Amino acid sequence: MAYDSIFKADLFAGQNIIVTGGGSGIGRCTAHELAALGAHVLLVGRNADKLKTVAAEIADDGGKADWSTCDIREEEAVTHLVSELIRKHGPIHGLVNNAGGQYPSPLASINQKGFETVMRTNLVGGFLMAREVFNQSMSKHGGAIVNMLADMWGGMPGMGHSGAARSGMDNLTKTAAYEWGHAGVRVNAVAPGWIASSGMDTYEGAFKAVIPTLREHVPLKRIGTESEVSAAIVFLLSPAAAFVSGSTLRIDGAASLGGRAWPIHKATNSESYNGFHRAYIPDVLKDKE
């Protein structure tokens, strides 16, 4: 079996594309699709074992992938990483700023260290990666960057630290798109809603119990797939989005719209797209589909 992408097979032939957080979840899925479309995928993350596994999967499927460990929150480490990737592989054509992480907590219980850690992971790290990729490579030949956000449009109760970081990334995306457009660099973002991904299995307690019920708050009455996020990222990296820059694409089944005054009816004709042949079903959702 191979990745069943809707895009043409040689879309990114000859291109080097970095995927941060590529060892699991949406990053892993996106890396597989990009490799299936001809890209040389450069996986970046903190867990070497996970990165090795994904690189081996891609190689088994006939694609090309290399991996590097890096804490993207550390400025010197990011500068060195990008320099080494360029030295080894040549120009960077695309960057998927996917790495991130958070934990559920009400604002009143988040200490300064926890708040700053999530901000550094979800905002500062993405900024450092984008800045270095632009300064060291894309400023000379153009390219495309896709940043990762989340559904934080109405606030993010229970994850205020992540909401603040993701909101900041939305604004950073707009600024970078405007400042770097002269060099032929496009900067966009995706904002996934509730997506069936391995990250769902990292939550415990009350939040874990809520996860299987989330579909009831989506007009399409289902949870999204990693492939549906990856497809949006691929589009934004592709020539089809050559005049799209500074935009954030919501991938949430319209869950971030409307309100309690409008009832969500039983859904019909809502079918998911899942092109990922190695897709992972979170344990918390098994037997609940």
Does 276 map to a domain? yes
Q: Are 162 and 112 in contact (CB under 8 A)?
A: no
Residues 122-139 pLDDT 10s:
999 999 999 999 999 999
Q: Max Cα separation, the chain? A: 56
pLDDT (0 to 100) of residue 287: 62
- φ, ψ for residue 273, nearest 5 deg: -110, 125
Does 2 map to a domain? no
In Å, what is the CA distance from 173 to each residue of 53, 133, 146, 169, 177?
Answer: 31, 14, 8, 6, 6
Does 98 map to a domain? yes
Weakly modelled stretches of the chain, pLDDT under 50: 289
Does 270 map to a domain? yes
pLDDT (0 to 100) of residue 268: 83
Does 8 map to a domain? no
pLDDT (0 to 100) of residue 265: 85
Residues 100-123 pLDDT 10s:
988 889 999 999 999 999 999 999
Domain count, the chain: 1
Q: Are 27 and 99 in contact (CB under 8 A)?
A: yes
Does 6 map to a domain? no
pLDDT (0 to 100) of residue 172: 98
Which strand (E) or helix (H) includes residue 253? none
CA pair distance 16, 42, nearest whole angstrom: 7
Does 7 map to a domain? no
Q: How many CB atoms lie within 10 A of CB 110?
A: 17
Does 157 map to a domain? yes
pLDDT (0 to 100) of residue 288: 54
CA pair distance 54, 130, nearest whole angstrom: 23
The neighbouring-strand residues paired with 188 are 146
Q: What is the CATH number of the domain that holds 109?
A: 3.40.50.720
Domain hosting residue 70, numbered range: 16-285
The residue written with tokens 């992938």 in the block is 65
